[in-house]
């Protein structure tokens, strides 16, 4: 059963339509991504979900609560990490946690949170003396200090160096293991692909696709790619006749086959039946990034998945 349901959400600021029509539901325990380019309406969407803004139309249900009328209760159960929110520079890490902890009826153990987020040694440090990654981790700690059932994390790793980003991702997976459902707002494809169970791709205030990261990627241009060197020449029609195959391309000695479903087995078995062995088989898949470019637009993209996008594994 979903614990968050958003349907037909719409929010305008004057003439500007920030969110046109957004619907999605989030299952308990999942990491749900809201992915889209800047200005797509991601932040406005979550602001409505957490009751910071009143939608113009649509309904929102979070843990059985209406964010507009039951804000007080909602805030006990939903932890929030906001984009571009900073703490006073001379507030110590431990003081910030103690203060925010006092706001909640239920709370997590600050020491355990500091351990979980790798801030144990920074308890007495001023906020302004923390590194970008540490500030972000404290921000996550504050989102979790009320022992929430749902955590909303907005642009979690923006501005962090690659090392800090990877560390933060690891932490988020740890948080989920504690049973917290997470809504992750991001414009980074790699982040969504790494962390999210499902992703809503938002553009111009609408959900243009909603699927697992793999599902989204697969949806694009057939989805899968098998590349091999045939042991002997064969008739292309053998493979293109298969339901799994969409297209085939000779690349010198190599043959690249694009398609979907159980493409590898279909190709190898069919070739074997014809007495041809596929040598040096490479598998590839378009990445979520390909899906993003394809669904959200931007540059015109070719019809073929490019193994070079970092997803080809030998």
Residue that is written with structure tokens 């790798």 in the block: 118
Dihedral sign, CA of 36, 148, 212, 165? positive
Q: Does 82 bind another protein (CB under 8 A)?
A: yes
Q: Which is nearer to another protein, 74 or 248 (CB)?
A: 74
Stretch that binds another protein, among 27-35, 76-84, 258-266, 287-295 (CB under 8 A): 76-84
Q: Does 104 bind another protein (CB under 8 A)?
A: yes
Q: Which of 53, 164, 84 is nearest to 119 (CA)?
A: 164
Instruction: Please tell me the number of Cα atoms within 13 Å of 43 on its side-chain side.
Output: 11
Stretch that binds another protein, among 82-90, 229-237, 276-284, 298-306 (CB under 8 A): 82-90
Output the DSSP codes for 237-260: HHHHTSTTEEEEEEETTEEEEEE-
Q: Which is nearer to another protein, 112 or 120 (CB)?
A: 112
Q: Does 91 bind another protein (CB under 8 A)?
A: yes
Stretch that binds another protein, among 67-75, 161-169, 218-226, 285-293 (CB under 8 A): 67-75
Q: Does 52 bind another protein (CB under 8 A)?
A: yes
CA 66-69-73 angle, to 5 degrees, is 75
Among 80, 226, 257, 276, binds another protein (CB under 8 A): 80
Residue that is written with structure tokens 């969504």 in the block: 192
Q: Which is nearer to another protein, 15 or 72 (CB)?
A: 72
Residues 134-153 that bind another protein (CB under 8 A): 142, 146-147
**Contact status, residue 304 vs residue 221, Cβ threshold 8 Å:** yes
Tell me which DSSP letter residue 277 carries: P
Task: Report how far residue 68's alpha carbon sits from residue 47's, in angstroms, rounded to the nearest whole number.
Answer: 11
Q: Does 124 bind another protein (CB under 8 A)?
A: no
Q: Which is nearer to another protein, 100 or 228 (CB)?
A: 100
Q: Which of 107, 99, 143, 137 is nearest to 121 (CA)?
A: 137
Among 31, 87, 189, 239, binds another protein (CB under 8 A): 87
Q: Which of 228, 220, 245 is nearest to 309 (CA)?
A: 220
Among 93, 97, 113, 276, binds another protein (CB under 8 A): 113
**Contact status, residue 225 vs residue 283, Cβ threshold 8 Å:** yes
- 230 bridge partner residues: 278
For another protein, what does the binding mask look like between residues 11 and 50, x meaning CB under 8 A?
A: ---------------------------------------x
Among 1, 15, 38, 105, binds another protein (CB under 8 A): 105
Q: Which is nearer to another protein, 57 or 99 (CB)?
A: 99
Task: Report how far residue 54's alpha carbon sits from residue 202's, in angstroms, rounded to the nearest whole number.
Answer: 19
**Contact status, residue 181 vs residue 150, Cβ threshold 8 Å:** yes
Among 31, 44, 48, 100, binds another protein (CB under 8 A): 100
Which residues lie near another protein (CB under 8 A)? Answer: 50, 52, 72-73, 75-76, 78, 80, 82, 84-88, 90-91, 95, 98-100, 102-109, 112-113, 116, 142, 146-147, 178
């Amino acid at each position: 059963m979903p614990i968050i349901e958003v349907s037909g959400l719409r929010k305008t600021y004057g003439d500007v339509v920030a969110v046109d029509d957004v619907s999605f539901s989030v299952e308990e325990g999942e990491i749900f991504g809201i992915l889209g380019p800047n200005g797509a309406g991601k932040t406005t969407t979550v602001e409505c979900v957490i009751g910071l803004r009143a939608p113009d139309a649509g309904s929102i249900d979070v843990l059985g609560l209406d964010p507009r009328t039951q804000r007080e209760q909602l805030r006990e159960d939903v932890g929030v990490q906001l984009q571009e929110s900073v703490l006073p520079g001379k507030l110590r890490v431990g003081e910030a946690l103690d203060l925010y902890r006092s706001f909640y009826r239920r709370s997590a153990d600050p020491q355990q949170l500091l351990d979980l987020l790798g801030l144990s040694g920074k308890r007495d440090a001023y906020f302004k003396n923390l590194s970008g990654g540490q500030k972000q981790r404290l921000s996550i700690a504050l989102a979790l200090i009320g022992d929430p059932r749902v955590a909303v994390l907005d642009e979690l790793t923006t501005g962090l160096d690659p090392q800090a980003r990877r560390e933060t991702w690891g932490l988020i997976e740890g948080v989920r293991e504690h049973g917290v459902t997470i809504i992750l707002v991001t414009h980074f494809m790699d982040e969504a692909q790494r962390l999210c169970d499902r992703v809503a791709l938002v553009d111009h205030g609408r959900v243009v696709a909603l699927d697992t990261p793999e599902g989204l990627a697969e949806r694009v241009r057939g989805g899968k790619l098998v590349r091999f060197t045939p042991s002997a020449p064969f008739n292309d029609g053998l493979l293109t006749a298969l339901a799994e195959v969409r297209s085939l391309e000779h690349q010198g000695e190599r043959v690249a086959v694009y398609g979907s479903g159980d493409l590898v087995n279909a190709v190898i078995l069919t070739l074997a039946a014809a007495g041809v062995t596929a040598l040096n088989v490479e598998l590839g898949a378009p990445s979520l990034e390909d899906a993003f470019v394809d669904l959200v637009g931007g540059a015109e993209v070719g019809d073929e998945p490019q193994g070079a996008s970092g997803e080809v594994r030998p």
